[in-house]
Structure 1
Amino acid sequence: MKGNQYLFSDFNIGLVTGLGVGLAISLYYGLKRSGFSGSSSRGLLDNLKRMIVESKNDLKEVISEEYKMVMVVNTKLKMEKGKVASQCCHAAVGVFIKSLLKEPKKIDYWQSQGSKKIVLKAADSAQLEKLQILATEKGLSTTLIRDAGLTQIDPGSKTILGIGPDAASLINQVVGDLKLY
């Protein structure tokens, strides 16, 4: 097939048509819901502007709350600082990817606020597991990092629990009583 023939294939024409019809229907019902009567083009523009402002205000309300990511360290393992840093990186990447796949808007909110990350202390792996269960029950993204055992600690050791990024108030319900690392 030559270049332009694929661009205008039946599939692409159907896709573009479907998207156009869907956009038109959404716009029609959105304007109808907002009280637009269809009597003037000026009214259409005014209603579109109002809808855009309202959607921006909705976004401001959603992200007015602080968002953060938390890493909880298993202090029983007595890892060196470099090991803790490395394990925290694994946890941060793990929860970032889960959140990106599950709820990408939370990543946007978190990044728009400076990508806050907090490192906290847990007594042992049992506490990490309890925190993970509680966080999961609250709908938070989590990842529990297990070490490969190539350097300082035994293979399979539970080193770090990553949580978030999400609303700080929700995360604090899970880890609010823990101390900073």
Structure 2
Amino acid sequence: FYPAAYKNIAVQLQNSTFAHLHKHPMFSKTEQQQRKQKGEWLSGSFKPENFIPGLVIGFICGFLIDLSKPTRNHLSKKIFSSNNKLQHQLSVSSNADQELKMVLVVRQDLKMRSGKIASQCAHAATGMYAELTQSNRSLLRHWEQCGQPKIVVTCKNQQEMNKLKETAESVGLPTFVVADAGRTQVSAGSKTVLAVGPGPKAIVDSVTGRLALL
């Protein structure tokens, strides 16, 4: 009996002691000071002098990020131009009655042998085919329905080839230039063959019609 009674008395004393300490003025004063400090910190954090530096830094960072992207407008213009050419090619190929053809332009000044010319023309045709598979499949299908006609002609040099390429692209014709690896006969990077088309026969002839057959 006695140990249990002593235990109950000890518990009651402990509870009364904690309750007395909790109500002690020292504790209430400490709590008031903590609440006051917290309120002062919150009110101070919302002062204008604390906000203005952050706003200025954010504005400067945003301005520098915009300056670090100077090519965005250039890229959008390039994409817009490519879309215009693609639309023109689609309109060109919309008439199923038109005959399409491809012309392969070979440089004479490189003096390539027959076997080399044949391989370079094959590179030009397959390269153009691969590009059209990604960019204009309707034009490619139309050309296939026509029997994939191809004609090989010659040009004098690199300068004439460049002019032909520019003229073809200006009227909406696709082009592809073969740059040789330089393993045989010609130096590495030499532009050997230009593929023009496929496109409507009349438009292709307006670009390459004056060139001599190989």
TM-score (normalizing by structure 1): 0.64
1:138 matches 2:188: no
CA RMSD of aligned residues (A): 1.2
> 1:60-98: CA deviations, max 9, x gaps?
x81211101110000111100110011001110111122
Q: Matched residues in 1 for 2:156 and 2:188: separation?
A: 19
Helix, strand or coil: the match of 2:118? Answer: helix
User: Which residue does the alignment assign to 1:114?
Assistant: 147
Question: Which residue does 2:79 correspond to in 1?
Answer: none
- For the residue of structure 2 that corresponds to 1:106, the secondary structure is helix
1:118-137 CA deviation, whole Å, 9 max, x = no partner? 00010111111111111111
Correspondence 1:80 to 2:151: no
Larger Rg: 2
- Equivalent-residue separation in structure 2 for 1:136 and 1:94 (angstroms): 16
Question: Is 1:98–1:141's contact at 8 Å kept on the other side of the alignment?
Answer: no
* SS across alignment from 1:86: helix
CA contact (8 A) 1:140 1:166 kept: yes
DSSP 3-state at the match of 2:173: coil
SS of corresponding position for 1:156: coil
Q: Which runs of 4+ in 1 moved over 4 A?
A: none
Query: Is 1:158–2:191 an aligned residue pair?
Result: yes
The one-letter code sitting in structure 2 at the alignment partner of 1:151 is T
Q: Distance in 2 between matches of 1:112 and 1:143?
A: 21
**How many residue pairs are counted as aligned between the two chains?**
121
Is residue 103 of structure 1 aligned with residue 136 of structure 2? yes
| Distance in 2 separating the partners of 1:84 and 1:68 | 19
Give the match's secondary structure for 1:88.
Answer: helix
The Cα of 1:178 is off from its aligned counterpart by 0.6
Match of 1:32 in 2: none
Instruction: Name 1:171's counterpart in structure 2.
Output: 204
Unmatched segments (≥5 aa) in structure 2? 1-93
